Amino acid sequence: MIKIGIIGGTGYTGVELLRLLAAHPQADLRVITSRGEAGKKVADLFPNLRGHVKLAFTEPDTKALAGCDVVFSATPNGVAMTHARELLKAGVKLIDLAADFRLKDPALWEKWYGVPHACPELLEEAVYGLPEVNREKIREARLVANPGCYPTAVQLGFLPLLENGLVDVQHLIADAKSGVSGAGRKAETHLLFSEAADTMKAYGVAGHRHWPEIRQGLEAVLGKSVGLTFVPHLTPMIRGIHATLYARLTLPGADLQSLYEQRYANEPFVDVMPAGSHPETRSVRVSNVCRIAVHRPQGGDTVVVLSVIDNLVKGAAGQAVQNMNILFGLDERAGLRQAGVLP
Amino acid sequence: MIKIGIIGGTGYTGVELLRLLAAHPQADLRVITSRGEAGKKVADLFPNLRGHVKLAFTEPDTKALAGCDVVFSATPNGVAMTHARELLKAGVKLIDLAADFRLKDPALWEKWYGVPHACPELLEEAVYGLPEVNREKIREARLVANPGCYPTAVQLGFLPLLENGLVDVQHLIADAKSGVSGAGRKAETHLLFSEAADTMKAYGVAGHRHWPEIRQGLEAVLGKSVGLTFVPHLTPMIRGIHATLYARLTLPGADLQSLYEQRYANEPFVDVMPAGSHPETRSVRVSNVCRIAVHRPQGGDTVVVLSVIDNLVKGAAGQAVQNMNILFGLDERAGLRQAGVLP
Amino acid sequence: MIKIGIIGGTGYTGVELLRLLAAHPQADLRVITSRGEAGKKVADLFPNLRGHVKLAFTEPDTKALAGCDVVFSATPNGVAMTHARELLKAGVKLIDLAADFRLKDPALWEKWYGVPHACPELLEEAVYGLPEVNREKIREARLVANPGCYPTAVQLGFLPLLENGLVDVQHLIADAKSGVSGAGRKAETHLLFSEAADTMKAYGVAGHRHWPEIRQGLEAVLGKSVGLTFVPHLTPMIRGIHATLYARLTLPGADLQSLYEQRYANEPFVDVMPAGSHPETRSVRVSNVCRIAVHRPQGGDTVVVLSVIDNLVKGAAGQAVQNMNILFGLDERAGLRQAGVLP
Amino acid sequence: MIKIGIIGGTGYTGVELLRLLAAHPQADLRVITSRGEAGKKVADLFPNLRGHVKLAFTEPDTKALAGCDVVFSATPNGVAMTHARELLKAGVKLIDLAADFRLKDPALWEKWYGVPHACPELLEEAVYGLPEVNREKIREARLVANPGCYPTAVQLGFLPLLENGLVDVQHLIADAKSGVSGAGRKAETHLLFSEAADTMKAYGVAGHRHWPEIRQGLEAVLGKSVGLTFVPHLTPMIRGIHATLYARLTLPGADLQSLYEQRYANEPFVDVMPAGSHPETRSVRVSNVCRIAVHRPQGGDTVVVLSVIDNLVKGAAGQAVQNMNILFGLDERAGLRQAGVLP
């Protein structure tokens, strides 16, 4: 059994992580910390976990965490980096579900997250935890930067095009729609039911923190700079991301369907749909799968890729568990076999 | 492994049953029949099951079903009763998720369901599959009538009051709110998103088919006639039933909280919340649990019971699997350990 | 034209009031105050009002308000009572959309609202603004206490039964379901989209502030004490209240349908539906109508009344405008002719 | 008063048209026909119209319609073209809310709508009813083809770019998200609440009927062929279209904000938001406004336009009333002054 600690865990990625780990055959959940909820039972905050999680939140305490094999940090941005050095020194593996270790360049991090990075020397070492790209590096990592939700859906959708040099990489477009849980469990007016139901809006068109993350990921694969327009939208659903990707084909003759199928043939959590399909976000709700379809409307030179995930699973907690499974040599599917829940 | 057949399975109770059985450690899904979808792969109709269910729908065929250990009938009302005799004769156990075997009195059945019953002689033998009342009988049954969704939530909420003779049983009130999936996967105008979202209505106030079912269940426990007002409401959520029950206390001194806790102390799927709680339907979403709270507002003589279930799990497919587990002597929790999904 | 001031107006009753007054043929909106938003244009906070409201929020300033004919207070509870004396002294009529003047007994007010009342001498004078009961008194009032949303739906539903002495008034039950906007535009976790969508729960079963308000209203009509169990529920819709009322008939022979039709025959904003109807909340969405149906299931001794309103219109801003119309001798329908918006 | 007839009117554009006309100061609603609902009162089908519309549906009857000044056809595609000749001959103006007269080329119409056109000779005469482009032609028209919902939002968003020759017109992208009411009031499984709530999907990527309509409209303005990728998405909201438009700037120096503001300065129903804005669909819910914002992320060469409408108002019934106002020389705003309803 793997001894597990969680820092934070009162947000949506936290409760989802708890739900997944509570059912994971090799997980031994030892510690969960929260400054705000210390002393409260997890199941009192999240009644769905009554009978599944017996732990109570405790005050953040690096010593208790240092006795774990792995610690998940499910806090707001900027917290994991204050714990990382000490945990790694104690021989604990760290999987950060926030953004602290996603960007390689400390200056870029500071620009987008507004504070200097607390341990820039770890940025290089941290492995970006997208298994479909970095599986071998994750296996050897001490510190995994779990990808953002939009970046997961967008990169998995674009990868086969970029890896095969098929499109104009200076003009990629990602029009992404997210359920409201993607914004977290924060008491902010614009996230209220009465504000976010029965309506739709774009946001962050001028610049969203996932834009540099996606670019960095695509550029790492491509080995050169990419141009990306990324427009996220807040959509009236709880979970789910639907990324609609557009690129101009420079090699129009390619058999895109085969290409996608081959690229992901051995991936346990990427499902390429039959030609002509339109994946729904609910088909992956509560599951760790990314479902993708590729289209070339009217046989023109624009390729359209549809990529859907559950933002809290493959876009956060599920991918973190997948990374844990890789880190510890477990079956990558352990604890993640849940089918999508429909309806 | 238990060899399993499903009749029907293209509706919401069907897809939920498939999802649960696909993850059940002792289930060997052999046959699924559907006149309308014969030849189509299950996973083409329900893409959430891609990678989980390999079967295709076949034409209804009693011979194939007769080779199973148990058959679930997940069809509209009136179909299971046309298969029952033959299946039972072949030694197959039958669990009907529709209403065909729920009412004991064939005349009552005909009154509420509009056609004569096709095998009235089986009504007496059929066991009403509410494990919290009939566990021992279910163990020995050949034919289980899986309860309706409203009846499950309402009966579990009322039982401790009636078993202990605490209330005026002539004036019970059940105000029940259901998610739209309770109405099934039928292409009817009033169930359209644009008709059922952002609105609420009562329906069937003059009489709903679950009214005689609830009364029969309560009367069986009580040994005498009960008076019940039952008002169902269509609520803009996909899953979930919230039953709010009202009764007048005739023994106002009773410690209702203890009474409920004791009654359900050993029940794996009934969770009595602490005093003062307000269970949410989402706390049981995708789980087989019924969560209950009992209140006595302002210390008056009216008791208020709040009882929530997922209508597709404890109110349908999950309870059916629970009944299968009992029938075959498995751990009653097998395949049903999923925590509620929140958010 | 009537010169109008608004105190507050940054919440949901505020924006609804602004929308209604902007289209009211006799309304001249002069001042709107908000401590938090002073200096901001109304239409910058509420972009639906672009082109309809040119005003900006200003700091609270009794002098500016004193130049109005009528002031609406659309603030949280406890604010209107700090302005009331001065405004009334200045000859301004005051319509309070919060709860400050709804209860007649200052001790009861303090018990439920947690602070002593700031001007208890005005409680007696204030007229409870339910036109269907108090139209004549409203006409002469200086100070109108606009009713709560639940109390409007519940009282209009119960009135004909109580006025005619038809039911056991010691055991009234009101099971009420509200859209989330009823909780206001407050950044609280439990009101987030991801918390309140696709789920349902009761709340405040032990005691809700609208309980004493409803009782007081019913007792005023009846002339004696009533017993009421009131259970509110949070429902995943933006607007709408659906009150399901239960009472035991003591005079079972009465023709309830005629009684309701006669009682409300001349009311412009109460619509008694034909026998057997089930009103939907969306049928009154954005309209000032209360739609009611009365049932007697299975001809028993329990009467069931279904009463629906838009909580922000007939349950708040619309009723406030209706009261203004009465106060100033206008056509009671002025500015309130909008039909329900469906779908 | 203008004498008005409606053919059809049992769908969502129908009920919205009825709601708008019932409140229109110059509308005299005379006839409404429906084969399926003949004899039924409008207000029995749509209870929100109780007290507002007294008419009953009648059998389709050209004679009764011929006595009107204008007839709106709010039927499925393919019906209006069977009435058009006769109505025009009788001197009645015809506004078709379906697609029968939107495409100029009968062959193209047949290709996309699957049947030959019944009166191809009228296609040339019909005026495409987008007032922001064709106001003067509409004024003189006998036959107005009311635009589709997506085409309205997309064209209004692209127009200033195309009219000023600022972008690569061979690679326009329109990623459009629609509320479910856009699919009509049809009893189809995929439109059920339990299928369409809490999920999102693209559809018709290979080809949607609004694609040729949008292209024709843009090409008419531009005077040459355009290349357009159009991806519609079904979104879990009742009303609203959010079109997110992408184009590559060929003249990057242009002041896009001023350009948009000038283009629409005199348009009563197009509202260009301040720079940096993100319009929400709910800001135009129930109103006839199209709200637009224009962005150029990171100062790059890709322009992003956000364009929102209420699909049933500016995208259907409201625009039809606007066209009627133009046809009869009324104030273009008559009956359409309603602000957006928020929340």
Question: What is the predicted ipTM?
Answer: 0.97
Whether residues A192 and A277 share a domain: the answer is yes
The DSSP bridge pattern shows strands B172-178 and B241-248 to be: antiparallel
Count CB neighbours of C82 within 10 A. 16
> Would you say the C-alpha torsion B200, B205, B209, B212 has a positive or negative sign?
positive
List of chains touching C (3+ CB pairs within 8 A): A, B, D
**A276 has a chain D CB within 8 A of its CB:** yes
> Which positions of A are annotated as active-site residues?
149
Is residue B207 very low, low, confident or very high in pLDDT (cuts 50, 70, 90)? Answer: very high
Closest CA to A103 of A131, A126, A83: A126
Instruction: Answer whether A180 sits within 8 Å of C198, measured CB to CB.
Output: no
Please check the confidence at residue B277 and state whether its pLDDT lies above 80.
yes
Question: Any residues with CB less than 8 A from the CB of D50 and at least 6 apart, and which?
Answer: C271, C283, C291, D43
Whether residues C155 and C301 share a domain: the answer is yes
Answer whether residue C91 is part of any domain: yes
What would you report as the CA-atom Rg of chain D, rounded to the nearest whole angstrom? 19
List of chains touching B (3+ CB pairs within 8 A): A, C, D
Q: Is C329 left (phi over 0), alpha (psi -120 to 50) or beta?
A: left
Amino acid B218: pLDDT: 98
Answer whether residue A80 is part of any domain: yes
In this structure, what DSSP letter does residue A316 have? I
Whether residues A97 and A157 share a domain: the answer is no
Cα separations in angstroms, A156 against A215, A221, A272: 13, 11, 11
Amino acid D190: pLDDT: 97
**B12 has a chain D CB within 8 A of its CB:** yes
Whether residues A300 and A205 share a domain: the answer is yes
> Which positions of D are annotated as active-site residues?
149
Q: What's at B47, amino acid-wise?
A: P
Cα separations in angstroms, D222 against C105, D164, D175, D246, D254: 72, 9, 21, 17, 18
> Which of D189, D198, D238 is the closest to B194 by Cβ?
D238
C119 is catalytic: no
- Measured between CA atoms, how close is A68 to chain D, in angstroms? 37
Residues D7, D72: contact at Cβ < 8 Å?
Answer: yes
Instruction: Answer whether C339 sits within 8 Å of D48, measured CB to CB.
Output: yes
Tell me: the pLDDT tens digits for C252-305?
789 999 999 999 999 999 999 999 999 999 999 999 999 999 999 999 999 999
What would you report as the CA-atom Rg of chain C, rounded to the nearest whole angstrom? 19
**B188 has a chain D CB within 8 A of its CB:** yes
Helix (H) or strand (E) holding D28: strand D27-33
Q: Is C127 left (phi over 0), alpha (psi -120 to 50) or beta?
A: beta
Instruction: Answer whether A198 sits within 8 Å of C238, measured CB to CB.
Output: yes
Q: Among the three residues D125, D141, D167, which one is the final residue of a domain in this structure? A: D125
**B140 has a chain D CB within 8 A of its CB:** no
Closest CA to C236 of B198, A71, D283: B198
Tell me: the pLDDT tens digits for B161-172?
999 999 999 999
Count how many Cα atoms sit within 13 Å of the Cα of residue D46 in the half-sphere of its side chain.
29
With contacts defined as CB-CB under 8 Å, which chain A residues touch C237? 197
In this structure, what DSSP letter does residue C120 have? T
Residues B6, B33: contact at Cβ < 8 Å?
Answer: yes
Q: How many CB pairs under 8 A join B and D?
A: 62
Interface of C with B in 308-327 (CB under 8 A): 308
With contacts defined as CB-CB under 8 Å, which chain C residues touch A193? 180, 191-193, 195-197, 236, 238
Answer whether residue C322 is part of any domain: no
* CATH code for the domain of B267: 3.30.360.10
Q: Round the average pLDDT of chain C to a whole number and report it.
A: 97
Whether residues A226 and A294 share a domain: the answer is yes
Rounded Cα distance between D272 and D293, Å, is 6
**D24 has a chain C CB within 8 A of its CB:** no
Whether residues A84 and A163 share a domain: the answer is no
Whether residues A72 and A164 share a domain: the answer is no
- Measured between CA atoms, how close is C42 to chain A, in angstroms? 17
Rounded Cα distance between D148 and D241, Å, is 11
Mean pLDDT value of segment B133-151: 98
DSSP H stretches of helix in chain D: 12-22, 42-45, 62-66, 80-89, 106-113, 121-125, 131-140, 149-163, 193-196, 210-222, 256-263, 318-327
- Give which of C46, C48, C192 to mutate to test A binding, by max A Cβ within 10 Å: C192
With contacts defined as CB-CB under 8 Å, which chain B residues touch A271? 50-51
Q: What's at B63, amino acid-wise?
A: K
List D229's β-bridge partners, or say none: D173
Is residue C61 very low, low, confident or very high in pLDDT (cuts 50, 70, 90)? Answer: confident
Rounded Cα distance between C190 and D183, Å, is 33
List B233's β-bridge partners, or say none: B177, B202
Rounded Cα distance between C71 and C84, Å, is 10
Answer whether residue D9 is part of any domain: yes
**D50 has a chain C CB within 8 A of its CB:** yes
Closest CA to C19 of A76, D286, B222: D286
- Measured between CA atoms, how close is C207 to chain D, in angstroms? 28
Whether residues A192 and A305 share a domain: the answer is yes
Mean pLDDT value of segment B46-54: 97
Percent of chain C with pLDDT over 90: 97
**C286 has a chain A CB within 8 A of its CB:** no
Instruction: Answer whether B279 sits within 8 Å of C231, measured CB to CB.
Output: no
Percent of chain B with pLDDT over 70: 100
Residue carrying the six token digits 């050169």: A224
Please check the confidence at residue C148 and state whether its pLDDT lies above 90.
yes
Amino acid D233: pLDDT: 98
Residues A227, A169: contact at Cβ < 8 Å?
Answer: yes
Please check the confidence at residue B34 and state whether its pLDDT lies above 90.
yes
Answer whether residue A62 is part of any domain: yes
Lowest mean pLDDT among A224-228, B252-256, B271-275: B252-256
Six-digit token string for C206: 């032990």
Whether residues A120 and A157 share a domain: the answer is no
Q: How many domains does chain A have?
A: 2
Residue of chain D nearest A194, judged by CA positions: D343
**D157 has a chain C CB within 8 A of its CB:** no
**Residue ranges for chain D with pLDDT beneath 70:** none
Q: Among the three residues B125, B160, B175, which one is the final residue of a domain in this structure? A: B125
Closest CA to D312 of D94, D152, D82: D152
Whether residues A206 and A289 share a domain: the answer is yes
- Measured between CA atoms, how close is D283 to chain A, in angstroms? 9
* CATH code for the domain of D80: 3.40.50.720
Instruction: Answer whether A302 sits within 8 Å of D171, measured CB to CB.
Output: yes
Count CB neighbours of C131 within 10 A. 22
Answer whether residue C84 is part of any domain: yes
Range of the domain at D297: 150-310
The DSSP bridge pattern shows strands D172-178 and D228-234 to be: parallel
Helix (H) or strand (E) holding D294: strand D290-295
B134, B140, B145, B147: CA torsion to nearest 10: 30
Tell me: the pLDDT tens digits for C200-239?
999 999 999 999 999 999 999 999 999 999 999 999 999 9
Rounded Cα distance between B57 and D93, Å, is 53
In this structure, what DSSP letter does residue C31 have? E
**D202 has a chain C CB within 8 A of its CB:** no
D43, D47, D49, D50: CA torsion to nearest 10: 70
| Strands lying side by side in the sheet with D2-8 | D27-33, D2-8, D70-74, D93-96, D143-145, D127-128
Whether residues B66 and B104 share a domain: the answer is yes
Answer whether residue A133 is part of any domain: no
Six-digit token string for A331: 């079956």
- Measured between CA atoms, how close is C9 to chain D, in angstroms? 13
Whether residues A222 and A97 share a domain: the answer is no
Instruction: Answer whether B48 sits within 8 Å of A339, measured CB to CB.
Output: yes
Is residue C133 very low, low, confident or very high in pLDDT (cuts 50, 70, 90)? Answer: very high
First to last CA, chain C: 34
Tell me: the pLDDT tens digits for B81-132?
999 999 999 999 999 999 999 999 999 999 999 999 999 999 999 999 999 9
DSSP H stretches of helix in chain A: 12-22, 42-45, 62-66, 80-89, 106-113, 121-125, 131-140, 149-163, 193-196, 210-222, 256-263, 318-327
> Which of D173, D205, D278 is the closest to A205 by Cβ?
D278
Rounded Cα distance between B176 and B172, Å, is 13
Is residue C242 very low, low, confident or very high in pLDDT (cuts 50, 70, 90)? Answer: very high
Q: Among the three residues C108, C125, C142, which one is the final residue of a domain in this structure? A: C125
Instruction: Answer whether B244 sits within 8 Å of C235, measured CB to CB.
Output: no
Please check the confidence at residue C177 and state whether its pLDDT lies above 80.
yes
Rounded Cα distance between A14 and B342, Å, is 11
Answer whether residue A329 is part of any domain: no
**B91 has a chain C CB within 8 A of its CB:** no
Instruction: Answer whether D341 sits within 8 Å of C286, measured CB to CB.
Output: yes
pLDDT tens, chain A, 343 aa long: 999 999 999 999 999 999 999 999 999 999 999 999 999 999 999 999 999 999 999 998 888 999 999 999 999 999 999 999 999 999 999 999 999 999 999 999 999 999 999 999 999 999 999 999 999 999 999 999 999 999 999 999 999 999 999 999 999 999 999 999 999 999 999 999 999 999 999 999 999 999 999 999 999 999 999 999 999 999 999 999 999 999 999 987 899 999 999 999 999 999 999 999 999 999 999 999 999 999 999 999 999 999 999 999 999 999 999 999 999 999 999 999 999 999 9
